[in-house]
Amino acid sequence: MGVLLSPSGVTKPERKDTGRDFFGWIEDLFQKFNDHTHDGSNTNKINSRGVKCETQSVLVADWTGVAPSLTVTKTLPFGMLYDEVVITPCLTTGEQTQMKVTKSSSTAYILSSIEAVDLTVKISS
């Protein structure tokens, strides 16, 4: 049974697999995906030019409500669709938080059950 090597280095069976070498190929494939870096040397290079990213600040004064039901509202940047964006609330030190984010139309709602804190909100698509 022969194998084909794709441009990204992934092996695929040349024709119907009889099962004899299948698990060895799968093990090699798992190892390859585990070791890849997307730097162009061992997999295709990822180009970030198509990724749009914007940051917005949230100050303690922006929060409304009382803990454990604090909410802050952010408007999505023009041209970013709510079902195509990733919203990541981060502390001003850069650490990600586990706050709940909901999106509706052109608005994102960030919910905190602990306290009002200064945040940086990363919005990317």
One DSSP character per residue, 47-71 reads P-TT--EEEEEE-GGG-BS-TTSEE
Q: Residue 7's domain spans which residues?
A: 3-35
Same domain, 62 and 118: yes
Q: Dump pLDDT digits (tens) for 23-82.
A: 777 787 788 777 777 777 777 777 666 677 788 888 888 888 887 788 888 888 777 777
Same domain, 29 and 59: no
Same domain, 58 and 31: no
pLDDT at 19: 64
Same domain, 64 and 97: yes
Same domain, 78 and 105: yes
125 or 98, greater pLDDT: 98
Is pLDDT at 125 greater than 60 in this prediction?
yes
Same domain, 107 and 64: yes
Q: How many domains does the chain have?
A: 2
Residue 47 lies in a domain: no
Give the Å distances, CA to CA, from 31 to 27, 45, 46: 6, 18, 19
pTM of structure: 0.51
